[in-house]
Amino acid sequence: MVHRDVKKVVEGVRIRQMRGGTIVTHEALAGLRAAAQETKVTSVDAFLEELEENSRYLRNIRAASVPLSNGLHYVVQEVKRAAERGSQVAELKKVLSESAVAYDRKLEESIQQIAEIGARRLRDGDVVMAHSYSSSVLAILKRAHEQGTNLKVFVTEARPELEGRDVARALAESGIDTTLIIDSAVSHFIEQVDKVMVGAEAVAANGAIVNKIGTATIAAVAQRARVKVFVAASTYKFSPETMFGELITIEERDNSYVLDDPEMKKLSNLHVRNPAFDVTSPQDIDLIVTERGVIPPQAAIMIVRGQSSSSTDAEQSMR
């Protein structure tokens, strides 16, 4: 049975509209740790079964979020390996907690490294356009500002959930010259922009990215205007499954974000679609800023292959 702390995390993400895959991953791993510490099961098999069930439930928070999926997979595999070595439930709880904290820490460290690398790509006087909430993009812009780089940032509202308002507020509070614009004004302002900077929920093996709905349109508009498009994404967001042709699921969210229920009930022939993410072609991306450095989207396959090889070697070494 799914633990109450895990259900609380899922409900919290839904109600509080948590922004960005990194934040969601942090909350999910915290919920998994809490559930493990409070479990009443005493057998290893029951503990592993409960862990799998809680992980599956948490993974569904955001199907497109690769750091979430990778983080949960990492923790589950570490616990399974400990069980294979003969660890009992008390030790498995410790392994789970330590592996969750370690993954969380690596994810946070990757953002700080991305901030340093990405900030060096910005020049004094640059005008940047940002879309949706990204911990990595925020970190880059703030780091550049701290280093004395004079920036102006256009931030889209990112409808229908309007997380762009949180981004604009955070940048303005940091002292950055920030202008909040409606999504449909992108083509109006793009001629004033030097660089577009977005985050990613996932990076596919072919260099395509999954990000907040509207990203693909903004990237296409930027390319036509000859404005460079930068993606800020840690290697924890690169999806190994896409190397084998697996597609990243694009979730649809509650229609009430677009049109409230009373209005919908009046109009029986009206339908609302609210996809949370879209896929941006690698042809519309200039660079991906990772904690390992800056790469063209075409080099994403090399990172994905490296991750797959490392995972396989680690699993074989445990046999």
* Domain segments of the chain as ranges: 4-112+309-317, 113-307
Sign of CA dihedral 69, 26, 100, 2: negative
Q: Is the pLDDT reported for residue 256 higher than 50? A: yes
* pLDDT attached to residue 64: 76
DSSP state of 238: B
pLDDT at 7: 67
Whats the size of the chain, residue-wise? 319
Q: What is the pLDDT of residue 13?
A: 63
Residue type at 146 in one-letter notation: E
DSSP 8-class letter at 195: E
DSSP annotation of 20 reads: S
Contact predicate 29/103, CB 8 Å:
yes
Q: Is the pLDDT of residue 319 over 50?
A: no
Per-residue pLDDT, 264: 80
* pLDDT in the model for residue 314: 40
Q: What is the largest CA-CA distance in the chain?
A: 63
CA 38 – CA 30 distance, rounded (Å): 13
d(CA 161, CA 167): 12
Residue 20 pLDDT exceeds 80:
no
pLDDT, mean of residues 270-297: 95
What is the per-residue pLDDT across 77-127, written as a single tens digit (0 to 9) for each? Answer: 999 999 999 999 999 999 999 999 999 999 999 999 999 999 999 999 999
For residue 306, give both structure tokens: 């490296």
Q: What percent of the chain is modeled with pLDDT above 90? A: 65
Model confidence pLDDT, tens digit, residues 123-175: 999 999 999 999 999 999 999 999 999 999 999 999 998 999 999 999 999 99
Q: What is the pLDDT of residue 315?
A: 41
Strand order in the sheet with 287-290: 177-181, 152-156, 127-131, 195-198, 228-232, 287-290, 293-295
- The answer to whether residue 40 scores a pLDDT higher than 50 is yes
* Distance from C-alpha of 226 to C-alpha of 209, rounded to nearest angstrom: 19
Q: What is residue 303's three-state secondary structure?
A: helix
pTM: 0.86
Give the Cβ contact number of residue 30 at 10 Å.
15
pLDDT at 313 over 50: no
Residue 14 confidence (pLDDT) above 70: no
What order of strands is seen across the sheet that includes strand 277-280?
202-203, 209-212, 277-280
Residues 248-261, mean pLDDT to the nearest whole number = 83
18 has pLDDT over 90: no
Between residues 58 and 191, which one has the greater pLDDT? 191
Q: Give residue 1's pLDDT.
A: 62
What pLDDT shows up at residue 317? Answer: 36
Percent share of the chain, pLDDT over 70: 89
For residue 298, report the phi and psi dihedrals to the nearest 5 degrees.
-65, -15
Tell me the average pLDDT across 257-276.
Answer: 86
CATH number of 113-307: 3.40.50.10470
- Domain 4-112+309-317 in CATH 1.20.120.420? The answer is yes
Asked if 36 and 52 count as a contact pair (C-beta separation under 8 A), the reply is: no
Neighbours of 293 (CB within 10 A): 11
Contact 219, 188 (CB under 8 A): no
Nearest of 316, 241, 309, 308 to residue 81 by alpha carbon: 316
Reported confidence tier of residue 178, pLDDT bands at 50, 70, 90: very high
> What are the pLDDT digits (tens) for 195-242?
999 999 999 999 999 999 999 999 999 999 999 999 999 999 998 888
